[in-house]
Amino acid sequence: MVLIRSIDVSPSMVNCSCAWASDYQQLSGLYHCPHTGAVITRTATLDGFEEDESHTVAFMKDSLSSLNSYGYSPHPLYTYLAWIQEFLEKGSSPKPFIISITESNAERLSEMLVTIQQLRASNSTWRSRIAVEFNSSCPNIKGHPPPSYHLPSLRPYLDVFAKAFQDDSTLTIGLKLPPYIITTQFHDLIDCISSYTRTDSGNPTNPIAYFTCTNTLGNSLVFADQTPTPDAKTDMSPFAVPPGLGGLAGEAIHALSLGNVYTFSRLLAESDDPAMREIVIIGAGGVTSPEAVRRMNRAGAKIVGCATLLGKEGVRAFEILSGNL
């Protein structure tokens, strides 16, 4: 069991926000899977993302890796809230939901949080059953680079979350981060988040309860002949996904993701800010085996998440990761 503010994640394994957590059936499978401790939705926007045939995924033939050109979920926020309300009202599991959200500007993000908070307030027990995760790191949105790579762009969104947390300190807020590669990127992010720590009644608290490390690695290129079905793709394009470039995931980024988990774990533990030392890490990136789960734990992740293996195996992925297969 891992407690993230008011959210109890038991067992300590989750899906990542991804295309395989998009619709009702997928969420139902994750919710009823005994090997997941929480369900994270695919990233929702206020009105839904316009998805077309260019948004897809390709799995690689020589490793459990993937390249995707997906954006966000085509389902709007209100659809996810209706589904989650239905799951919680049925009461078949105490498992919490983490709603992954993002928007093109802070004002629209604030609208999303108001709507989520209305659902959380509608039932006294749901405050510990519904959390939010800000996807600040999708590399596939044209004209909207990930704000976590440019902290002045990230701050307006963090201001919104800080205000929501000030109004309701039971709200569990996570931040999904991109893969960082430069030392200053890690330190700058830590300093940025720490600047939101406030002391109330002598107890320092920070709006951010957890980091998910990491999202996919953007600007990656895979050719069609690197996939199991190259002939099906080369008629249209020499690339594995139609745009050519996409977000790399799975075993191909495992070492980099481990490095991010380890670096953030160390920096948080060594922080002079007591509230920063409370932030939990969800380790993701190349978690395709029980051994990979253990490596994430050794690097400092309290909770481990996966997406690529989920895409390949369905919810059976979590049985594999738990070592039961």
- Give the 3-state secondary structure of 96-150: CEEEEECCCCHHHHHHHHHHHHHHHHCCCCHHHCEEEEEECCCCCCCCCCCHHHC
Cα(93)–Cα(38) distance, rounded to whole angstroms?
Answer: 10
Residues 6+ apart with CB under 8 A from 32: 92, 93
Most distant CA pair in the chain, distance:
65
Where residue 43 falls among pLDDT bands split at 50, 70, 90? very high
Residues 6+ apart with CB under 8 A from 168: 117, 120, 127
94-107 per-position pLDDT tens digit? 999 999 999 999 99
205-245 per-position pLDDT tens digit? 999 999 999 999 999 999 999 999 865 554 568 999 999 99
Q: Are 49 and 291 in contact (CB under 8 A)?
A: no
Residues 6+ apart with CB under 8 A from 166: 198, 207
46-61 per-position pLDDT tens digit? 999 999 999 999 999 9
Cα(67)–Cα(243) distance, rounded to whole angstroms?
Answer: 11
- In terms of pTM, does the model score above 0.85? yes
Q: Is the predicted pLDDT of residue 276 greater than 70, yes or no?
A: yes
Tell how far CA 132 is from the center of its chain.
Answer: 10
Q: Is the predicted pLDDT of residue 195 greater than 80, yes or no?
A: yes
Q: Is the predicted pLDDT of residue 184 greater than 90, yes or no?
A: yes
Q: Which two tokens stand for residue 162?
A: 């800080």
Residues 6+ apart with CB under 8 A from 296: 257, 258, 261, 283, 284, 287, 304
